[in-house]
Structure 1
Amino acid sequence: MPIRNIAVGRPEETYHPDALRAALAEFISTLIFVFAGEGSGMAFAKLTDDAANTPAGLVAAALAHAFGLFVAVSISANISGGHVNPAVTFGAFIGGNISLLRGILYWIAQLLGATVACGLLKFVTNGQTTAAFSLSSGVGVWNAFVFEIVMTFGLVYTVYATAIDPKNGSVGTIAPIAIGFIVGANILAGGAFDGASMNPAVSFGPALVSWSWENHWVYWAGPLIGAGLAGLIYEFVFIGNSGHEQLPSTDY
């Protein structure tokens, strides 16, 4: 069972050169992702004179996040695993695929990367606001909470199926684009309701820089629960108890 594989890790793991390199990769890839994703929203707001969200703006956000995450995962996959998301790191920990101490190191790097990205955006746009995630009119806190659980479950399940599963075979080569696609698709589904974060770091950076924390807990609790469920289910059902041979690719 995955619970047996959960490990705290050794203290020296937090300052081992490989762990520090992995943390730096997470910092850089998260910075790149948040700068592109948050920056696209700020650019659209400037071009439309801060008009309310429109279908075109939603599509633009989905594309920017999908492309940005594809690149961010690709450039860090061989160094840190390309998490770029505290929820993905938590899901990997719950499935026994990363130690607690290394996961905390990743969390620190991811949150710092998102914060630096938003700080840079505020500077280069001459003080334009980095908008914190918020609920749309008519959307309740618990609606958004469930939205974040379901969307992040889909994201982390995709990560497991394409990147973590040792039987992924040639599917592993498309992991970054599959992960980017599911995030873009989820933004199209939930972006008009709660912003579709699926990533506590993406929520934390703008909230800290703009100092806006209303309903911020939703963007931590929902993604972490969704990620934990995905990690448990995939690791227990499809990895931990799998005794069958993978189907030949010609059978798909």
Structure 2
Amino acid sequence: MACIAFGRFDDSFSVSSLKSYLAEFISTLLFVFAGVGSAIAYSKLTAGAALDPAGLVAVAIAHGFALFVTVSIAANISGGHVNPAVTFGLALGGQITILTGIFYWVAQLVGAIVGAYLVKFSTGLDTPTHGLAAGVGALEGVVMEIIITFALVYTVYATAADPKKGSLGTIAPIAIGLIVGANILAAGPFSGGSMNPARSFGPAVVSGDFANNWIYWVGPLVGGGLAGLVYTYVYLNSSHEPVPSSDF
């Protein structure tokens, strides 16, 4: 039965753990660089015009592709979380210790800040931040972020963390990238479609704009935590067998 574990300092500072933190730092840096860079690039190509449907699709695809790659390159080292909400959801499900999860958070947040700074330095342009659309209140934004982050972390559990996943594990990075792209298409015009506190925090630090940044902590952490608890205690702690591959 899965349970929340605090962990030990010697485990959290082992060589393999330090390599995991570095992997999370690098992957989050690359993800934020590509994600923020895609938004800046579209703005430059359209002479600063507001994000239109074509731009939304372009940014969603860029985030989906970037997450697919960054999860893949870190998967065999750190698990490829690339997101404090994913780490939080996995910690509540007993997949990672609280102590190691804290160090994952530090690596992810520092990676996001460095990635956002590198985009700003490379382009010389202002760094866009996540924000609510006109007419969307804070509560609606939080609920939107809860729902889409629940979908993301539930997908992580179903395709990567479930020991009974069978052959589905081979498509985990693809599924994770696709759900993020789909969620940005759905939530981008409303809450911004973050699902990732690090993705929102890095650009906020670089731009100095923390307006409503709390939404992109509360929503994703609640959504990710709920997904971790639901999948763990409904599926992982009950008897369920993988579907035979011949039945797909």
Q: TM-score range by the shorter chain?
A: over 0.9
Q: More displaced, 43-52 or 145-154?
A: 43-52
Please give the residue correspondences for 1:97-136 in structure 2 after superposition, counting only pairs within 5 Å: 97-126=95-124, 128-136=125-133
Please give the residue correspondences for 1:1-252 in structure 2 after superposition, counting only pairs within 5 Å: 2=2, 5-126=3-124, 128-241=125-238, 243-252=239-248
The separation in 1 between residues aligned to 2:215 and 2:171, in whole angstroms, is 30
Kindly indicate whether the alpha-carbon contact (under 8 Å) linking 2:92 and 2:228 is maintained by their aligned counterparts in 1: yes
Task: Tell me which amino acid in the other structure corresponds to 2:99.
Answer: L
Task: Tell me which amino acid in the other structure corresponds to 1:139.
Answer: V
Q: 1:202 is paired with a residue of what secondary structure? A: helix
What TM-score, normalized to structure 1?
0.97
What TM-score, normalized to structure 2?
0.98
Q: Can you give the 5+ residue segments of structure 2 that lack an aligned partner in the other structure?
A: none
Per-residue CA deviations over 1:181-213 (Å, capped at 9, x if unaligned) read 000000000001111000000000000000111
Q: 1:63 is paired with a residue of what secondary structure? A: helix
Q: Can you give the 5+ residue segments of structure 1 that lack an aligned partner in the other structure?
A: none
Percent identity between matched residues is 61
Deviation, structure 1 residue 109: 0.4
Kindly indicate whether the alpha-carbon contact (under 8 Å) linking 1:144 and 1:194 is maintained by their aligned counterparts in 2: yes
Deviation, structure 1 residue 246: 2.6
Number of corresponding residues: 248
The separation in 2 between residues aligned to 1:36 and 1:244, in whole angstroms, is 38
Q: 2:80 is paired with a residue of what secondary structure? A: coil
Per-residue CA deviations over 1:140-195 (Å, capped at 9, x if unaligned) read 11111000000000000000000000011110000000000000000000001111
How much is the aligned-residue C-alpha RMSD, in angstroms? 0.9
Q: 2:85 is paired with a residue of what secondary structure? A: helix
Deviation, structure 1 residue 247: 2.6
Per-residue CA deviations over 1:75-120 (Å, capped at 9, x if unaligned) read 0000000000000000000001100110011000000111001101
Runs of 4+ in 1 over 6 A off after TM superposition: none
Task: Tell me which amino acid in the other structure corresponds to 2:38.
Answer: S
The separation in 2 between residues aligned to 1:149 and 1:48, in whole angstroms, is 32
